[in-house]
Amino acid sequence: MSQTLLTSFSDAEIRRQAGNSDVRDLRDARYPGVYFRFHQNRERGTWHLVVGKKWEKIAGFPELPVKGLINALPKIRERLATDPKASAAAGTLQTVGQLLEWFMVRQSTERSLSAKRRATNTSIITCHLKPRLSELLIADVDRSTLDKLVMWPMQAEMSLSYVRLMWGVLVVAFRQAEKLRLIAQNPVAGVKFTDFTKARILPKPSRLRAVQLEEVLGELAIGFDQHPQDCMLALMMLCHGTRAGETRQARWSHLTLGEQGEWFIPAENTKTRCEHRLPLTHQACALLERYKAWQSSRGYKGAYMFPARNRGPISDSQACAVFARLGKGEWTSHDLRKVARTGWTDLGVDFLIGEMLVNHTLTRNVQTYIHTSAELLKRDALNKWHEWLDGKGFDRIHRSTLTRNENSQNAVEANTGAASSAITNP
């Protein structure tokens, strides 16, 4: 068998020589030190770079075609010249477009991500990143190129918070590809979002304030008779500060009514991927009983609080449509969550209890040293909040016959001086 054949590298030439069993290796005088060695299955092979007497693997074929090898070779030689102990591996992904396509397929089946997050990532890649970076070689990625092609044009068209979200997707894609050795090195390692802009990303102000809740509750009271499901979705979020996704997927089996009622939200339905438990006040229980009676009157005996017409709960887009109808462009579902969290603070609810109620991820120190779900304190906080909402018209909707004096846990007084002028005790 002839050990090595001197030829000109091309994909067609490799396929042609695959039929010649006398040839084991191919080399090209234009690329000193580069060898192609056939596998036993001669449709495949490996690219090597010979440095001294050491054969360094570059990549496999056909994963890395000849064009990809030629593009990667200068960077490989430069890397080895700087650090002789560095790897010669080129990776199998050559363009940013290939990397983004690989990452999009990979994350589409990642169970740790919610369906909403996967859809958001897919949209970012297909609508924004691939159109701008698809043909860019990974070897040519650097700060100035990214700033010119992506970061600066996008910040002129979109909000800075969305640009940062897109940057996060790009960073994770490169990092994962490097870990799996699909690329030789991560060109965005050490690059920060603040390298492109020093502008601060400010949180969006709430478009719904406490002083508006009397009007909102009045509209929900009227609308409850015509569109109970829409209004119930908004009321559950306002009463408990839950996320839209957590609320729309609620099942009746997750709810325990009664004096010590509880709403259990399983981990798979939460953003934090941690199960969440919320006390149900007598007002919330009365509201749920009224809503369930309406569902029963229509013959519904299914599992979901907010069923879709076909199967399962209403979708994320259907929930968005609900709030578009209710808010009329003036407020969103997230504004309900914000006004609830603000209201708890104004009523003197402890900061940590408020964070537990909205199911925010707690700091590592808090998780290390505080091992309690604080159910009594959470119940007291929601009792305060629902009593305050009663004074703004919530009682017209839930129609509970219990009064403050009949429920000892509902005796609430806001901390003197802790409440803002927007919120006072009922």
Question: What confidence category does residue 426 fall into, taking pLDDT thresholds of 50, 70 and 90?
Answer: very low
Does the pLDDT at position 85 exceed 90?
no
pLDDT of residue 383: 97
Average pLDDT over residues 22-30: 94
Q: Tell the burial category of 215 from Cβ atoms under 10 Å away from its Cβ (0-12, 13-18, 19+).
A: exposed
How far is 337 from 329, CA to CA, in rounded Å? 16
| DSSP for 110-135, written as a single string | -TTS-HHHHHHHHHHIIIIIHHHHTT
**Would you say 356 and 256 are in contact if contact means Cβ atoms under 8 Å apart?**
no
**Would you say 206 and 339 are in contact if contact means Cβ atoms under 8 Å apart?**
yes
The phi, psi pair for 18, rounded to 5°, reads -60, -25
Question: What confidence category does residue 34 fall into, taking pLDDT thresholds of 50, 70 and 90?
Answer: very high
pLDDT more than 70, % of the chain: 93
CB atoms inside a 10 Å sphere around CB 190: 8
pLDDT of residue 403: 57
Provide the CATH number for the domain formed by 96-195 in this structure.
1.10.150
Does the pLDDT at position 410 exceed 50?
no
Greater confidence (289 vs 59) lies with 289
| CA neighbor of 407 nearest in space, from 385, 380, 377 | 380
pLDDT of residue 425: 43
**Would you say 262 and 284 are in contact if contact means Cβ atoms under 8 Å apart?**
no
How far is 352 from 354, CA to CA, in rounded Å? 5
**Would you say 278 and 378 are in contact if contact means Cβ atoms under 8 Å apart?**
yes
How far is 217 from 81, CA to CA, in rounded Å? 70
Q: Which range is least confidently modeled, 30-34, 218-222, 410-414? A: 410-414
pLDDT of residue 354: 95
Q: Tell the burial category of 406 from Cβ atoms under 10 Å away from its Cβ (0-12, 13-18, 19+).
A: exposed
pLDDT tens figures, 271-328: 888 899 999 999 999 999 999 999 999 999 999 999 998 889 999 999 999 999 999 9
pLDDT of residue 406: 52
Could you tell me where the DSSP H helices lie in 41-114?
66-82, 96-107
How far is 184 from 88, CA to CA, in rounded Å? 8
Does the pLDDT at position 243 exceed 50?
yes
How far is 261 from 284, CA to CA, in rounded Å? 9
CB atoms inside a 10 Å sphere around CB 168: 13
Does the pLDDT at position 408 exceed 80?
no
Q: Which residue has the tokens 């009397």?
A: 214
Strand pairing report for 255-256 and 54-61: unpaired
**Distance set, CA 113 to CA 127, 161, 366 (Å):** 20, 20, 24
Q: Which CATH architecture describes the domain 2-82?
A: 2-Layer Sandwich (3.30)
Chain mean pLDDT for the chain:
89
Half-sphere exposure of 208 (CA within 13 A, CB side): 26
Strand pairing report for 23-27 and 2-6: parallel
Does the pLDDT at position 128 exceed 80?
yes
pLDDT of residue 417: 36
What are the residue ranges spanned by the domains of the chain? 2-82, 96-195, 210-410
The phi, psi pair for 111, rounded to 5°, reads -70, -20
Give the CATH superfamily of 210-410. Intergrase catalytic core (1.10.443.10)
Asked, as a colleague might, if the bond just before 187 is cis with ω within 30 of 0, I would say no
Calculate the CA 110 to chain-centre distance. 12
pLDDT of residue 82: 80
pLDDT of residue 415: 36
Q: In what order do the strands lie in the sheet with 276-279?
A: 255-256, 262-265, 276-279
pLDDT of residue 376: 93
Rg (CA), the chain: 30
Question: What confidence category does residue 405 fall into, taking pLDDT thresholds of 50, 70 and 90?
Answer: very low
